[in-house]
Structure 1
Amino acid sequence: MRTSVKILDAYIIKKFLSTFFFALGLIILIAIVFDISEKIDDFLEKKAPLESIIFDYYLNFIPYFANLFSPLFIFISVIFFTSKMASQTEIVAILSSGISFRRLLAPYMVVAAIIASLSFFLNGWVIPHSNETRLAFENTYIKNPYVLKTRNIHRQINPGQFIYFESYNTLDDIGYRFSYEKFDNGKLLYKMNAERLVWDTVKTVWRAETFTIREIDGMKEKLRIGVALDTTFSFYPEEFNRRENNIQTMDMNELETYIQDKKMRGAEGLQFDEVEKYRRSSFPFATFILTIIGVSLSSRKVRGGIGLQIGAGILLSFTYIMFMQVSTTFATNGNFPAIIAVWIPNIVYALVAVILMRNAPK
């Protein structure tokens, strides 16, 4: 009996992995063909080297795309080969031999655990660094030069230290109508105003132009006026040049440091960063939920054949993905906590998985 169970486990694991990697490989190949047809004009127009297209872009595009759609194709793979087993009465024979449905789930969960662990590692540490190369290629050969003219920037750069720009041009790294204030226990100690703050790429310092400085010490105040002054601050041009997708290039450790730094500075847009942080852990967890739902749905033999089960499975998986998108929108555009918004789809569909598992054939 034990030997036959081990053979069954190996059979299911082999079927699961082979179906999953075949389906994923096929869709990646199709996606690359469509992507090339869409971007071929950009490659030719900007004379992108073939070596860079292959190794810098597509070699890093594959893990990103594969990980992005892995839960969906895990679900489709489970539905496909399990419903095929059910239609051939293999599931009925397995359950009739005394093997429980939960025991039948064991090899599925082993594969789900392997893929989820791999997905978590890729999401947290491998893909962010591959994204750095991929996005650098896109910014060079596909997208237009990134120019951002931000207005009314307020930031805390250190405890008690605040900066303000009326506007900032990322192309030239020049800020206009700049002010810097330093407080101690709510009392203003130092204030600088400058018509322009320019980043000196040679000296790697900021140059304040047409500036005034006020230094306050109790009842005493010093005033200094000048044309130009080289100085340093606890912020750099890169902080204003970041695109929204730059957090995709940070691994989990870098992202956590970045979020804590933004919290300290009182910077805006923290919701997007926190959604990305929690999404990296919730996304792999979806593998377990979709696997249980897939087995529970497809283990029963139905008259409509496997097409009906695959169709129902795809519909359910797309509603899951849509639910994930809608819930994260609440976090990014509202005051909904990011961790709750990101994990709500998993919680809801985990309950669905439990209900389906209880109603699965015994």
Structure 2
Amino acid sequence: MKNLLARIFPRLDRYIISKFIGTYIYSIILIISISIVFDFNENLNKFATYHAPWTAIVFDYYANFVPYFANLFSPLFVFIAVIFFTSKLAGNSEIIAMLSAGASFKRLLRPYMFSAAIIAAVNFYLGAYVIPHGNVVRLNFETQYKNKRRVTSASNVQLQVAPNVIAYLQQYDNTTRRGYGFSLDHFEDKKLVSHMTANVIQYDTISDSRYHWKALNYKIRTLKGLREKIQTGTEIDTMIMMEPMDLIFNTDQQETFTSPELKRYISKQQERGSQNVIQYEVEYHKRIATSFASFILTLIGASLSARKRKGGMGLSLGIGLALSFSYILLQTISATFAINAGMPALLAAWIPNMIFAVIAYFCYRLAPD
């Protein structure tokens, strides 16, 4: 097994991979630790005011704060890690020795790209499947102990819950999962064939399946030609193809969905003709694009810092920080354009990668050979 690994990853590759991954983890620990100190200092008064227990602060808030922000700023950590340890290798003339021994710069990039692939895969898995569940806990903590206002009610909600079926709610309270002034209209060939009203509808949170609602003080009118059938009652269990998440929209709600949940939610809302899905589409595509950015930023960082400079790593680190913050800023700007200016979500998510891929190409051309 060791001989197989040695053939696949020679000592040079193992050396660079260990330096890359080690520096990446070290930069995360260092910067996130500083962020925790500043965040705790800023929110200490709120924690005390709202009597947040220490267990909730540690396990509900900061245990989910760390992976969320580590994954969010992963491009920054990748850039810092590559520039830091590559500049150090160049300063010690190790890269010159590698190139003099016959290894091309292209060959040196192989362990860099392998390390970037590991980081990209981990980032995507965490961002798509793990962190969204933690975000639910973290955002609930912020709502309860940091007084971060979240939308818990909606009024005059109208949506298409199925083809030719329109639901309307005069008022909905997400805290109790209860709606008031409900009506459900079913059309065939643009003609109303069924009209249901209920004073109150209650979502069944303990049901084994989705879309279970209980209608209280209901009335159902069934129309067939000139005939009309009326059914009334105090309570009825019914299936209505809508859920509480369809009725309440928060600015950070998309961060609480896993990627499969995001995809299903987007498809469902598009089938209903809803226009309020652009931020969900941006989030879905951004998770893939941000993971792929590890390759681009690794190439830029390695190309910039592989040449030995008189000033040491200071200049390379400064350029790297400027570029990494520019990438994060460009992500924010393109997402804003998608949400507010109608830019396609896929294009908005990938524009930073496209621009930085061009920068990576020119940096690679200028790298030592």
When normalised by structure 1's length, the TM-score is 0.88
Per the alignment, do residues 39 and 336 of structure 1 end up closer, same or farther by CA in structure 2, a change over 3 Å counting? same
2:359 partner SS = helix
1:39 aligns with 2:29: no
1:243 aligns with 2:246: no
1:297 aligns with 2:304: yes
Q: Answer whether contact 1:146 1:171 (CA < 8 A) is retained.
A: no
Per the alignment, do residues 357 and 144 of structure 1 end up closer, same or farther by CA in structure 2, a change over 3 Å counting? closer
Per the alignment, do residues 200 and 149 of structure 1 end up closer, same or farther by CA in structure 2, a change over 3 Å counting? closer
Identify the residue that residue 306 of structure 1 maps to in structure 2.
313
1:154 aligns with 2:158: yes
Identify the residue that residue 30 of structure 1 maps to in structure 2.
34
Trace 1:98-137 onto structure 2 (pairs within 5 A).
98-137=102-141
Trace 1:219-230 onto structure 2 (pairs within 5 A).
219-222=226-229, 230=236
Which of 306, 330, 333 aligns to 2:337? It is 330
Q: Partners in 1 of 2:114 and 2:276 — Cα distance?
A: 38
How far off its partner does 1:198 sit? 4.5
Per the alignment, do residues 144 and 84 of structure 1 end up closer, same or farther by CA in structure 2, a change over 3 Å counting? closer
Which of 344, 348, 364 aligns to 1:341? It is 348
Q: Deviations over 1:289-329 (max 9, x none)?
A: 00000011111223333211111111111111111111111
Q: Answer whether contact 2:142 2:148 (CA < 8 A) is retained.
A: no
- The number of aligned residues is 357
1:197 aligns with 2:200: yes
Q: Answer whether contact 2:158 2:169 (CA < 8 A) is retained.
A: yes
Q: Answer whether contact 2:153 2:248 (CA < 8 A) is retained.
A: no
Q: Answer whether contact 1:74 1:287 (CA < 8 A) is retained.
A: yes
1:189 partner SS = strand
Per the alignment, do residues 25 and 144 of structure 1 end up closer, same or farther by CA in structure 2, a change over 3 Å counting? closer
Which of 5, 10, 15 aligns to 1:6? It is 10
| Greater shift in the superposed pair: 250-259 or 105-114 | 250-259
2:287 partner SS = helix
How far off its partner does 1:177 sit? 5.0
How far off its partner does 1:145 sit? 6.2
Q: Partners in 1 of 2:219 and 2:19 — Cα distance?
A: 73
How far off its partner does 1:175 sit? 4.5
Structure 2 letter corresponding to 1:38: E
Identify the residue that residue 50 of structure 1 maps to in structure 2.
54
Per the alignment, do residues 34 and 113 of structure 1 end up closer, same or farther by CA in structure 2, a change over 3 Å counting? same
Per the alignment, do residues 237 and 115 of structure 1 end up closer, same or farther by CA in structure 2, a change over 3 Å counting? closer
Q: Deviations over 1:183-235 (max 9, x none)?
A: 123222112356x43437799844456x76542212333467x7966453333
Identify the residue that residue 263 of structure 2 maps to in structure 1.
256
Q: Deviations over 1:14-70 (max 9, x none)?
A: 221222111110111111111211222222222222222212221222111211112
1:165 aligns with 2:169: yes
How far off its partner does 1:265 sit? 2.5
Q: Answer whether contact 1:208 1:231 (CA < 8 A) is retained.
A: no
Q: Partners in 2 of 1:102 and 1:133 — Cα distance?
A: 45
Q: Deviations over 1:49-98 (max 9, x none)?
A: 22222122212221112111121111011111212222333222221221
1:292 partner SS = helix
Q: Answer whether contact 1:128 1:249 (CA < 8 A) is retained.
A: yes
Percent identity of equivalent pairs: 43
Q: Partners in 2 of 1:189 and 1:25 — Cα distance?
A: 62
Structure 2 letter corresponding to 1:250: F
2:10 partner SS = helix
1:15 aligns with 2:19: yes
Identify the residue that residue 359 of structure 1 maps to in structure 2.
366
1:185 aligns with 2:192: no
Where do 5+ consecutive residues of structure 1 fail to align?
A: none
Per the alignment, do residues 131 and 149 of structure 1 end up closer, same or farther by CA in structure 2, a change over 3 Å counting? closer
Per the alignment, do residues 182 and 115 of structure 1 end up closer, same or farther by CA in structure 2, a change over 3 Å counting? same
Trace 1:256-275 onto structure 2 (pairs within 5 A).
256-275=263-282
Per the alignment, do residues 238 and 324 of structure 1 end up closer, same or farther by CA in structure 2, a change over 3 Å counting? closer
Q: Answer whether contact 1:157 1:264 (CA < 8 A) is retained.
A: no
Q: Answer whether contact 2:215 2:237 (CA < 8 A) is retained.
A: yes
Q: Partners in 1 of 2:302 and 2:188 — Cα distance?
A: 62
Q: Partners in 1 of 2:245 and 2:326 — Cα distance?
A: 38
Q: Partners in 2 of 1:74 and 1:117 — Cα distance?
A: 13
Q: Partners in 1 of 2:281 and 2:149 — Cα distance?
A: 27
Identify the residue that residue 90 of structure 1 maps to in structure 2.
94
Per the alignment, do residues 147 and 98 of structure 1 end up closer, same or farther by CA in structure 2, a change over 3 Å counting? closer
| Greater shift in the superposed pair: 280-289 or 304-313 | 304-313
Where do 5+ consecutive residues of structure 2 fail to align?
A: 1-5, 207-211
When normalised by structure 2's length, the TM-score is 0.87
